[in-house]
A = this chain, B = another copy of it.
Amino acid sequence: ADPSALEAARDQQARLTKPAGALGVLEEVSIRLAGLAGTCPPPDPSPAAVAVFAADHGVHAQGVSPWPQEVTAQMVANFLAGGAAVNVLARQSGAAVVVVDAGVVTPLELAEDALAVDATDIQPEQPRLIARAVRKGSDDISVRPAMTREQAIRSLASGIEIAGQLAASGYRALVAGDMGIANTTASATLIAAFTGSDPASVTGRGTGIDEEAHRHKVGVVRVALARRTAENDTHPQDPIDILASVGGLEHAQIAGFILGAAAHRVPIVLDGVIAGAAALVAAALAPAALDACLAGHRSAEPGHAVALQHLGLTPLVDLELRLGEGSGAVLALPLVRSAVAVLREMATFDTAGVTEKSS
C-alpha cells in the first residue's frame, strides 16, 4: 500500500463534517482503498464483476454432503439462467456475473451464446461461462492429493488471467464467488493446514448437516490432514503443495484471482469460507495481495472467522449467511462504494462552515 495515499486519506477523514471516527469501519475501508490505488481519494469501485468459480470435489465420495454432485452443474445452469441468489443480488448491486468452470464433473449443457471465449467477452446483463477446467473434479483428499502441483499452478494462472482481463475491461471491483458440492470440507482442511487450527474448530455444517454427519465430516478433515502431513514432510509449508494436496480446483483459481486483482490494484471483495481459504493460499504466496482484499461478510461457517482473523480482515456484512456463490460479498459492494463516496464527496468543516468541537 502507498504510505502517502494512506496518510492523505487519514487526514481527509479528519477534515470531513463528522466527529472523528464516527463512520467506523467505513473510514478504514476508504483509507485502505486509497493505499491500494496509490491516490486519495481512491477511484469509485464501479463497475463491479463477480466471478463464480465452480468445481467438484472427490471427497464428496466420503458422504460429507447431503447434496448429490450433479447439483454443482445444475447450479451452473441456474447461474447462467440468472435465477440463483448471486444473480438476484448482483442485479441489485449492479455487478456483472461471470461463471468459471474450474472443474465441474457433470457435463454442462450450455446454450449456444452461454460460452465466453475469455473474461473480456462477458456482458453485464447476461451471465456467461468461461471454460477453464484443468481436470474434471479433484481427487478425494482423504485418500490422495486433490490434484498435481502442475494442475494447481495452471488453475492459479487461470484465476490470475481472468482478473487481469476483467481489470483490462474496465471493472473497478472484483468479487470472488464459488460453487461446488463438498467444498466446505476442502476449505476446512485448507484452513486447518494454514492456521494450525484443530479440524473440529474450523469444520462447519455446510449447507446443513446433523450432528452425526458433522462428526463424520470432522473425521474426514482429520484424515486428509494426516495424509498430507505424512506425504509432504519435505515441503510442509509450501503453499502450492498444501493447495494441491488438500484444496480444490476453485480454491486454486480463486487464489489466482486474488493475486491478479492485487497486481492490477483492483479491490477484491471476498465471499465466505471458500474464498477465505483461497485467500490464505494467496497471502502465503504474496502477503501484499491482502492490500487488495476486503472481507465481504462473515459466514456462519466457523472456519471462516478463523481464516479472517488469520488474515486480519474485518467483515462488512454479518447476517448469518452461509450460501456461497459470492452472495455475501455482492451484498457488501454498496458498502464499499459508500465508503469511497464519503471520501470523495463529503464536505469539510472549512468548506461547510461548521464549528469543530472544543478540545
Interface residues of A (CB under 8 A from B): 16-26, 65-68, 70-71, 74-75, 77-78, 81, 83-85, 87-89, 91-93, 207-208, 300, 316-323, 327, 331, 334-335, 337-338, 341-342, 345-347, 351-355, 357-359
Nearest chain B residue, comparing its CB with the CB of A343: B88
The 6 residue pairs across chains A and B that have the minimum distance between CB atoms = A83-B347, A24-B320, A19-B207, A25-B319, A22-B323, A334-B334
Report the bound CA distance from A322 to B257 in whole Å: 35
Would A83 and B351 be within 8 Å (CB), given that A19-B207, A21-B208, A327-B23 are in contact? yes
Select which of B77, B87, B352, B357 is within 8 A of A66 by beta carbon. Answer: B357
Which residues of the partner chain B approach A24 to less than 8 Å between Cβ atoms? 300, 319-322
Q: Which of chain B's residues has its CB closest to A354's CB?
A: B74
Asked if B335 and A317 make an inter-chain contact with CB atoms under 8 angstroms apart, the answer reads yes
Task: Chain B residues near A323: list those with CB within 8 A.
Answer: 18-19, 22-23
Kindly identify which residue among B83, B208, B317, B353 contacts A357, using a CB–CB cutoff of 8 Å: B208
Cβ contact within 8 Å between B68 and A355: yes
B residues less than 8 Å from A318 (CB atoms): 318
Cα distance, A87 to B67, chains bound together (Å): 46
Q: Of all chain B residues, which has the CB nearest A205? A: B19
Q: Which residue of B lies closest to A297 (CB)?
A: B24
When chains A and B are docked, how far (Å) is the Cα of A342 from the Cα of B325?
14
Given A85-B16, A319-B26, A71:B354 Cβ within 8 A: yes
Contacts of A68 in B (CB 8 A): 355, 358
B85 touches A18 (CB 8 A): yes
A92 B341 Cβ-Cβ under 8 A? yes
A208 touches B347 (CB 8 A): no
User: How long is the Cα–Cα vector from A326 to B319 in the complex, in angstroms?
Assistant: 20
Q: Chain B CB within 10 Å — which of A22, A70, A92 has the most?
A: A22
A67 to B19: give the CA distance in the assembly, Å: 10
Chain B residue nearest to A340 in the complex (CB): B92
Q: In the complex, A322→B20 CA distance in Å?
A: 10
Closest to A318 in B: B318
Given contacts A84-B352, A92-B338, 17 further A-B contacts (CB under 8 A): A18-B323, A20-B208, A22-B323, A23-B323, A26-B319, A66-B359, A74-B352, A74-B354, A77-B353, A84-B346, A85-B346, A88-B342, A89-B338, A92-B337, A331-B335, A331-B338, A334-B334
**Chain B residues, Cβ within 8 Å of A334:** 92-93, 331, 334
Q: Which residues of B contact A358 (CB under 8 A)?
A: 66-68
Closest Cβ–Cβ distance, residue A315 to chain B (whole Å): 9
| Contact partners of A354 in chain B: CB under 8 A | 71, 74-75, 78
Q: Are B83 and A352 in contact (CB under 8 A)?
A: yes
CA distance A26 to B354 in the complex (A): 38
Q: Could you say which residues of chain B place their CB within 8 Å of the CB of A25?
A: 319-321
Q: How far is the CA of A340 from the CA of B71 in the complex (A)?
A: 25
Shortest Cβ gap from A95 to chain B (Å) = 12
Given A20-B208, A81-B352, A354-B74 in contact, is the A321-B26 Cβ separation under 8 Å?
Answer: yes
The listed residue (B16, B322, B346) touching A22 by CB distance below 8 A is B322
